[in-house]
Amino acid sequence: MSFVNERIEVHSWHWCYRLAIIGVSLSFVIQWFLIATLGFDERFLLVPPIAILAAWCFDIHYHQQAETQWQLLNDSLENQVEERAARLQQALDFESTLKRITDKVRDSLDESQILQTAVRELAEGLGANACHASLYSLEENTAHVCYEYNPSIFSTRGQVTWMQDAPEIYQSLLRGECVQFCNLIRHPIRGRVTMLACPMFDDQNVVGDLWLFIDKDYAFRDLEIRLVQQVANQCAIALRQANLYQHAQAQVKTLEQVNWLKDDFLSTVSHELRTPVSNMKMSIHMLELTLKRIQTKDNSIQKATQYLQILKYECEREISLINDLLDLQRLEAGQRSLVLETVQLHVWLTQILQPFENRAHTRQLALCLNLPPYDLPPFISDLGAVERVLAELMNNACKYTPPGETITISVDAKPGMMQFSVRNVGVEIPEVELPHIFNKFYRVPNADPWKQGGTGLGLALVQRLVQHLAGEIEVKSGHNQTEFIVEIPNHLARVPA
């Protein structure tokens, strides 16, 4: 608009000068007419030509100035047009870059691909020396450089920055504000550079940031900063989607695991229920036939006794399985209460270990009870639950300990606690299996060389019972031995005086 006004002003003055020349010429004609008709002195005719000549010279000079000014204005207009065209092209390029980045990160559910794409496209689109993306750990107050685009040989990937070391920067970033600055001290790797940090934040909090590094004499323009902000917003949305997807995948895997456990449970329970029932049915049938012939053969009574023993054993297996399931259900539902009793452990342990002596002898195992040299204090607890815990641990020890090895049961008094230990030699649990052995229906693969079977409920029941008693259980396995350590509170300290 200013250029148009200047152009109108130039043309107005130009025509004014031309009108002045015309006026001077007309004045000359009038003076000549007066001299010719009225007899005026002819010297008066010299003034108009001189005036006309001066006017023409002034007109030529001003015309040249006007042409020069016109050329300058034309050049300025061309520069403005070129500058605006360059800005428009840059805006179109930035829009294309943003669309390309948005399409790539929006279609990806991989965190590494999202951020790697963003840093590479930003660095190339803005001509930056380097660009990297950091993810925040707000609990630890740190920023971890996870992905970078850096054409130099130096890498900052894996670098961890404590936010309190640069509060002036990270306080702004945590508020969702961009920060642009130049380092005063020369960096040993990047030197003197201009840096732009832009936060990535979703609707909950800041999840990370994007950093760009460029020459120290350069300042990021508003259009470039808006591009980085929009890319950071798209990255935050994409990361949120990726996290939700990973969470959903984890839930799917959990459901698959639960479904697998359900199928395994049904298969195991079906087998464990069917086998004892089949054996009982066959034993009952054989017992029936034997009793019919009891009067004809003397050894029939011995066979009948043997069949009855099988029937009794299988019935106990069936009842034990059902009891385990019911006990687990009651413990998980919190429907079992503590029944406290007082006992002297050295007598009580001897009694509950007696049934395992015959079993250990049959399997050629040595069974040892290790008591401290001092007298143990009276133990007050739910003895039924404690006995069940020790019985399950002893069952496992007898089942999986190779012949010729030793099973040791130890007890020791701790302040306010009683510690029980069951250690068997000759067997180890792989370290990778230790976190899973207390899961329901879980059995260590290839840990049952004698194919004795089991439901995988024993150790799960042990853990629930120990928790019910407000105690703790720990397992150690290595150096060709496995040890379960159980600590149970001694309620004697809680009995009022």
Out of 246, 266, 285, pick the residue that ends a domain: 246
The tally of domains found in the chain comes to 3
Tell me the per-residue pLDDT of 33-62, one tens digit each, with 9 for 90 and over.
Answer: 655 665 545 554 444 555 555 555 555 666
Residue 334 lies in a domain: no
Residue 34: its pLDDT value, please? 57
Residues 119 and 242 in one domain: yes
Residue 85 lies in domain: 2-99
Q: Is the pLDDT of residue 364 over 90?
A: no
Residue 221 lies in a domain: yes
Q: Is the pLDDT of residue 432 over 70?
A: yes
CATH (domain of 455): 3.30.565.10
CATH (domain of 205): 3.30.450.40
Out of 246, 274, 296, pick the residue that ends a domain: 246
Residue 275 lies in a domain: no
Residues 81 and 141 in one domain: no
Which run of H or E residues covers position 62?
Answer: helix 47-106
Residues 364 and 477 in one domain: yes
Residue 44: its pLDDT value, please? 47
Q: Which of 347, 338, 396 is nearest to 371 (CA)?
A: 347
Residue 181 lies in a domain: yes
Residues 347 and 490 in one domain: yes
Which run of H or E residues covers position 409?
Answer: strand 406-414
Residue 303 lies in a domain: no
Residues 31 and 164 in one domain: no
Give the least confident one: 123-132, 261-270, 356-365: 261-270
Higher pLDDT, 211 or 73: 211
Tell me the per-residue pLDDT of 135-183, one tens digit each, with 9 for 90 and over.
Answer: 998 888 899 988 888 766 577 788 888 998 888 889 888 888 898 888 7
Residues 361 and 385 in one domain: yes
Residues 114 and 92 in one domain: no
Residues 448 and 399 in one domain: yes
Give the least confident one: 4-8, 66-70, 482-486: 4-8
Residue 153 lies in a domain: yes
Residues 190 and 92 in one domain: no
Q: Is the pLDDT of residue 266 over 70?
A: no
Residue 357: its pLDDT value, please? 85
Residues 348 and 484 in one domain: yes
Q: Which residue has the tokens 């079977």?
A: 453
Residue 451 and residue 473: Cα distance in Å, rounded? 27
Tell me the per-residue pLDDT of 218-243, one tens digit each, with 9 for 90 and over.
Answer: 888 888 888 888 888 888 888 888 88
Quick one: how many helices (H) and strands (E) in the chain?
9, 13
* Percent share of the chain, pLDDT over 90: 6
* Percent share of the chain, pLDDT over 70: 69
Residue 335 lies in a domain: no
Q: Are 425 and 405 in contact (CB under 8 A)?
A: yes
Give the least confident one: 98-107, 277-286, 363-372, 393-402: 98-107
Q: Are 164 and 181 in contact (CB under 8 A)?
A: no
Tell me the per-residue pLDDT of 9-31, one tens digit each, with 9 for 90 and over.
Answer: 445 555 555 555 665 566 656 66
Residues 8 and 71 in one domain: yes
Task: List % helix, strand, coil for the chain (3-state, nearest 5).
Answer: 60, 20, 25
Residues 228 and 164 in one domain: yes
**Maximum mean pLDDT: which of 68-82, 215-229, 339-353:** 339-353
Out of 246, 276, 302, pick the residue that ends a domain: 246
Residue 133 lies in a domain: yes
